[in-house]
């Protein structure tokens, strides 16, 4: 899952310009976050309570940091809006 998420960054960069070293670093960062999230989820199991939903929504925060570092301007707020939106949608569509 982490590799897939990291490759999204690379494919998006390749479609718009070129895959620069900054894109590769961002892809590794998000991939590492998802790998860590998966590892933690397997360790704590189904009884994790609020931890896993917060970590899943945290992917939006990682995206926002990447956008901020790449000087994405107001798009940072769009990425950050994904955090509460993910938490709200998890009430409708529970994750596993």
Residue 28 vs residues 6, 8, 50, 74, 81: alpha-carbon distances, Å: 6, 11, 26, 24, 23
Tens of pLDDT, residue by residue over 41-89, are 888 877 777 888 899 999 999 999 999 998 888 999 999 999 999 999 9
Single pTM value for the model: 0.82
The residue to which tokens 């970590």 are assigned: 55
Ramachandran sector of residue 73 (left: φ over 0; alpha: ψ -120 to 50; beta: rest) = left
Distance (Å, whole) CA 32 – CA 37:
8
With cut-offs at 50, 70 and 90, classify the pLDDT of residue 96: low
């Amino acid at each position: 899952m982490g590799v897939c998420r990291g490759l999204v960054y690379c494919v998006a960069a390749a479609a718009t310009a070129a895959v620069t070293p900054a894109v590769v670093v961002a892809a590794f960062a998000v991939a590492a976050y998802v790998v860590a999230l998966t590892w933690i989820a397997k360790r704590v199991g189904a009884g994790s309570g609020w931890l896993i939903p917060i970590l899943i929504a945290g992917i939006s925060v990682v995206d926002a940091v990447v956008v901020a570092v790449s000087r994405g301007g107001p798009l940072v707020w769009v990425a950050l809006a994904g955090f509460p939106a993910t938490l709200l949608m998890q009430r409708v569509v529970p994750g596993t």
